[in-house]
Amino acid sequence: MKTTNLAITAAVTGLIALGSTLISAPAVAAEKEKCYGVAKAGKNDCATKTSSCAGTAKQDNQTDAFVVVPKGLCGKLAGGSTVSS
């Protein structure tokens, strides 16, 4: 009986942990923004106007390549913009 209680407790704990992860994910995403013009060559987070994959920026500070940063940080970075040029 003790093993059964332990298994049930573990299962419930796992479901609670999974549920809290799913609930907090959108909140974390809302605290981020795309920052254009600051990615180093080959270090962009997603596709650009001229390429289809992450990590394919051809040059440093490419205006259509972005990295995801905490909201509010982009404006503080030299050359950073929240809109693509």
pLDDT in tens, 65-82: 999 999 999 999 999 999
Q: What is the pTM of this model?
A: 0.61
pLDDT for the residue numbered 71: 95
Per-residue pLDDT of 1-55, as tens digits, reads: 466 555 565 555 554 555 545 454 565 567 999 999 999 998 888 877 777 788 8
Question: Count of CB atoms within 10 A of residue 74's CB?
Answer: 21
Identity of the residue numbered 39:
A
Whole-number Å distance between alpha carbons of 66 and 54: 9
pLDDT of residue 37: 92
- Residue 1: per-residue pLDDT: 46
Structure tokens at 71: 């909201």
